[in-house]
Amino acid sequence: MKVNTELTTTKRVLMCGNEALAEAAIIAGVDAYFGYPITPQNEIPAYMAKRMPEEGRVFVQSESELAAINMIFGAAATGKRAMTSSSSPGISLMQEGISYLAGAELPAVIVNVMRGGPGLGNIAASQSDYFQATRGGGHGDYRTIVLAPASAQEMADVMPLAFDLADQYRMPVMILADGLLGQMMEPVLLEKKEKRKLPPKDWALTGAKDRPQNIVRSLWLKEGVLEKLNEKLQARYAQIAENEVLCEQYKVEDSDIVLIAYGISARIVKSAVTKARKEGIKAGWIRPVTLWPFPSEQISKAAEELRIFLTVELSCGQMVEDVKLAVAGKSPVLFFGRTGGGVPTVDDVLNQIRQLTIKHKS
Amino acid sequence: MKTVFKRTPTYKDVPTHYCPGCGHGIAHRLLAEVIDELDIRDRTIGIAPVGCAVLEYDYIDVDMVEVAHGRAPAVATGMKRTNPDKIIFSYQGDGDLASIGAGEILHAGHRGEQITVIFINNAVYGMTGGQMAPTTMLNQVTTTTPKGRNAVEQGYPMQVCELLAVLPGTIYIERCAMSNPAAIKNAKKALRHAFELQVEGAQGMSLVEILSPCPTYWRMNPPDAMAWIDREMVKAFPLGKIK
């Protein structure tokens, strides 16, 4: 049997989500980390400040989130794997740079460990940046791939995927986590994953040695050129929507009520559905792992039969709009959530399930 | 016949989009000459700003990136830190570097990034149609200072070189001008020195400020614009090696 020696260097450790993500990024070959302090993601820069120099790689604490995203822009333009992490207010500041990354077709990974908003909000876990993350966030016709881990293990697991997706499609990829996932400690198995087969970065700025000049740009003044670029990006986005949707589901076909949740909310929902099943309620769940591309097809398929859809989020209701688009009026779509740092308990969600299913039957 | 002057290879043989009498064309040529003289074309990466020089890559034949307004020093940081063997320069105007990008240039200098910054000061926002820049002279009329810049309301012309010179992370700072042949020759020397420092691996940032004519938005003909630099601009922006 052929043994992959790289895969044998696995280790199982107790880590918080933020540190698991940071170590996984290092294993995935990140060349440079640039970031600015903000709670609740400070474990990531602290971890990187120690580990990146040990690996002979680059760590810079930037003077602002604006600078951090542009440092990534610079490193990415030379073909390096670069990342930053921040939390909601800081991610708002990065939107200019994310739009430029999208326009210049540069791969980069941006981690948002969400906290409550709007404004300075608070430092508790929240999921209220869904609109910003899945709609592009900055100016212009673009998308970012958005991955939503739901455990410390998945904080690690999404990193190699994020870098591969960024490189494959030459675009920014966002990890949308939250303060709970970032802070809580769980056992994590860290392992080196095989890279996808990726296209060569022949567009990178490496010095015009024995080749014509390379230019990385997002300004297209001549009539029709920007429209062509946007059409090219849209075609790429369509390809991603076709090939890269990730979601999990549980007992959807045999259910009267389907709960839709991502990230930490999905953990609560899973427990509530398990409890509901024990009470004889036919409940199931769908958990989007990619928030863009959204698992519309899977939800649409579930809506072919009349059942209740209940979206659970740590927000005032954002993903619920995508669920409604997917359900397209075929079934009722309801929302339950808490905001501003509030987190529903398993029993809170279970009560919602009970009430809705009783109402549905009567 | 003996050739006494020819185009340097890194300066592309194309007409530029710049207005008659603009200083960008001269500064571009000096930059290209320095790159060729130091033989660093194949390991140089340039950063074009938002502003009139955004299309610089159409004229200077090195690998180049175009970046968001003011962010060039952060982009340069990302490039140089991950590619210490490459020669990284940014080319920025006064609105870009001294206004919206004041934070980025200050902190790149503060960290002592090993990059070369070419700072074009023409005392006005050119690309957007002649608004006040941080470097606009007192009493200078622009579209946003229709009665002339007034120190009480709009502050004084910002002296970027002097500000940056106090930072330990900056190693060489000189102010030059595109206003007469002697000044232009001196600017070439300054640019060459700023690049040589990076090639040698000197620890810190170098910056060359170039006072550059904008006849269009100064509402002058090109000779008068050049004369205005020597007569007026140098009063707020004295020429010479600052550090």
Domains (range + CATH), chain B: 24-241 (3.40.50.970)
Chain B CA closest to residue A56: B82
Report how far residue B74's alpha carbon sits from residue A269's, in angstroms, rounded to the nearest whole number. 42
Phi-psi region of B51 (alpha: psi -120 to 50; beta: other; left: phi over 0): left
The whole-number pLDDT of residue B243 equals: 96
Q: Which class is domain A248-361?
A: alpha beta
Beta-carbon contacts of residue B158 (< 8 Å; ≥ 6 apart)? B98, B134, B135
| Complete DSSP assignment for B190-204 | HHHHHHHHHHHT-SS
Report how far residue A261's alpha carbon sits from residue A310's, in angstroms, rounded to the nearest whole number. 9
Chain A CA closest to residue B55: A219
Q: pLDDT of A297-307, one tens digit each?
A: 999 999 999 99
Phi-psi region of B56 (alpha: psi -120 to 50; beta: other; left: phi over 0): alpha
**Cross-chain CB nearest to A100 (options B45, B47, B68):** B68
Contact assignment for B104 to A217 by CB distance below 8 Å: no
- ∠ CA B206-B207-B210, nearest 5°, is 155
pLDDT class of A7 with cuts at 50, 70, 90: very low
**A22 and A57 Cβ atoms separated by less than 8 Å:** no
Mutation site, B14, B60, B75, interface A, largest A CB count within 10 A = B75
For range B31-44, the mean pLDDT: 98
The whole-number pLDDT of residue A2 equals: 41
- CA-wise closest residue to B128 among B171, B95, B175, B164: B95
Q: Which class is domain A10-243?
A: alpha beta
**A64 contacts on B by Cβ (under 8 Å):** 103
Report how far residue B38's alpha carbon sits from residue B35's, in angstroms, rounded to the nearest whole number. 5
Contact assignment for B57 to A97 by CB distance below 8 Å: no
Comparing A359 with B194, which gets the higher pLDDT? Answer: B194
To the nearest whole angstrom, how far is the Cα of A103 from the nearest Cα of chain B? 11
The whole-number pLDDT of residue A4 equals: 42
For range B17-45, the mean pLDDT: 97
Residue A218 CA to its chain's centroid (Å): 24
Residue A37 CA to its chain's centroid (Å): 20
To the nearest whole angstrom, how far is the Cα of A48 from the nearest Cα of chain B? 15
Question: Which strands make up the sheet holding A283-288, listed edge to edge?
Answer: A247-250, A283-288, A257-260, A308-313, A333-337
Locate CATH 3.40.50.970 in chain A.
Answer: 10-243
Please state, as a whole number, how many other Cβ atoms lie within 10 Å of the Cβ of residue A119.
9
pLDDT, averaged across chain B = 97
Q: pLDDT of A315-341, one tens digit each?
A: 999 999 999 999 999 999 999 999 999
Q: Which two tokens stand for residue B88?
A: 């990284």
> Is residue B36 within 8 angstroms of chain A, CB to CB?
no
> Is residue B45 within 8 angstroms of chain A, CB to CB?
yes
Chain B CA closest to residue A61: B111
Contact assignment for A219 to B62 by CB distance below 8 Å: no
**A68 contacts on B by Cβ (under 8 Å):** 74
Is 80 exceeded by the pLDDT of residue A9?
no
Contact assignment for A97 to B71 by CB distance below 8 Å: yes
- ∠ CA A136-A140-A143, nearest 5°, is 30
Contact assignment for A214 to B63 by CB distance below 8 Å: yes
Report how far residue A210's alpha carbon sits from residue A205's, in angstroms, rounded to the nearest whole number. 13
Is 90 exceeded by the pLDDT of residue A360?
no
Is 50 exceeded by the pLDDT of residue B36?
yes
- CA-wise closest residue to A22 among A111, A119, A122: A111
| Complete DSSP assignment for A317-351 | SSHHHHHHHHHTTSS-EEEEE--TT----HHHHHH
Is 70 exceeded by the pLDDT of residue A362?
no
- Phi and psi at residue A13, to the nearest 5°: -140, 155
To the nearest whole angstrom, how far is the Cα of A304 from the nearest Cα of chain B? 47
Contact assignment for A73 to B78 by CB distance below 8 Å: yes
Q: Which two tokens stand for residue A61?
A: 């604490």
> Is residue B104 within 8 angstroms of chain A, CB to CB?
yes
**Cross-chain CB nearest to A207 (options B45, B65, B68):** B45
**Cross-chain CB nearest to A31 (options B62, B64, B82):** B82
Contact assignment for B62 to A64 by CB distance below 8 Å: no
Mutation site, A215, A218, A220, interface B, largest B CB count within 10 A = A215
- CA-wise closest residue to A308 among A345, A255, A347: A255
To the nearest whole angstrom, how far is the Cα of B36 from the nearest Cα of chain A? 13
Report how far residue A101's alpha carbon sits from residue A108's, in angstroms, rounded to the nearest whole number. 8
Q: pLDDT of B88-112, one tens digit each?
A: 999 999 999 999 999 999 999 999 9
Contacts of the segment A222-230: beta carbons below 8 A, 24+ positions apart: A229/A103, A230/A141
Q: pLDDT of A108-136, one tens digit each?
A: 999 999 999 999 999 999 999 999 999 98
The whole-number pLDDT of residue A361 equals: 59
Contact assignment for A32 to B71 by CB distance below 8 Å: no
Report how far residue B94's alpha carbon sits from residue B76's, in angstroms, rounded to the nearest whole number. 17
pLDDT, averaged across chain A = 95
Report how far residue B239's alpha carbon sits from residue A354's, in angstroms, rounded to the nearest whole number. 79
Contact assignment for A208 to B42 by CB distance below 8 Å: yes
| Complete DSSP assignment for A69-107 | HHHHHHHHHTT--EEEEE-HHHHHHHHHHHHHHHHTT--
Is 50 exceeded by the pLDDT of residue B75?
yes
Is 80 exceeded by the pLDDT of residue A10?
no
> Is residue B63 within 8 angstroms of chain A, CB to CB?
yes
**Cross-chain CB nearest to B78 (options A34, A66, A219):** A34
Q: pLDDT of A91-102, one tens digit each?
A: 999 999 999 999
For range B208-225, the mean pLDDT: 98
Q: Indicate the pTM of the whole model.
A: 0.96
pLDDT class of A226 with cuts at 50, 70, 90: very high
Beta-carbon contacts of residue A38 (< 8 Å; ≥ 6 apart)? A65, A86, A87, A89, A90
* % of chain A exceeding 90 in pLDDT: 94
Task: Give the number of C-alpha atoms closer than 13 A to the C-alpha of residue A39, restricted to the C-beta side.
Answer: 7
User: Considering Cα of A81, then A84, then A85, then A87, what sign does the dihedral take?
Assistant: negative
**A92 and A44 Cβ atoms separated by less than 8 Å:** no
Buried b (16+ CB within 10 A) or exposed e, A46-82: ebbeebbeeeebbbbebbbbbbbbbbbbbbbbbbbbb
> Is residue B43 within 8 angstroms of chain A, CB to CB?
yes
**Cross-chain CB nearest to A70 (options B61, B71, B111):** B71
Strands B170-177 and B240-241: antiparallel
Instruction: Give me the total of CB pairs closer than 8 Å, taking one residue from chain A and one from chain B.
Output: 134
Is 70 exceeded by the pLDDT of residue A3?
no
To the nearest whole angstrom, how far is the Cα of A223 from the nearest Cα of chain B? 16
pLDDT class of A358 with cuts at 50, 70, 90: confident
Secondary structure letter of residue B149 according to DSSP: B
The whole-number pLDDT of residue A136 equals: 82
Instruction: Pinpoint the alpha helices (H) of chain A.
Output: 17-27, 43-54, 65-77, 88-103, 130-134, 152-169, 179-183, 225-243, 263-278, 296-302, 319-327, 346-361
**Cross-chain CB nearest to A62 (options B55, B74, B83):** B74
Report how far residue B115's alpha carbon sits from residue B205's, in angstroms, rounded to the nearest whole number. 5
- Phi and psi at residue B128, to the nearest 5°: -90, 0
Is 50 exceeded by the pLDDT of residue A5?
no
Locate CATH 3.40.50.920 in chain A.
Answer: 248-361
- ∠ CA A297-A193-A101, nearest 5°, is 65
The whole-number pLDDT of residue A32 equals: 98
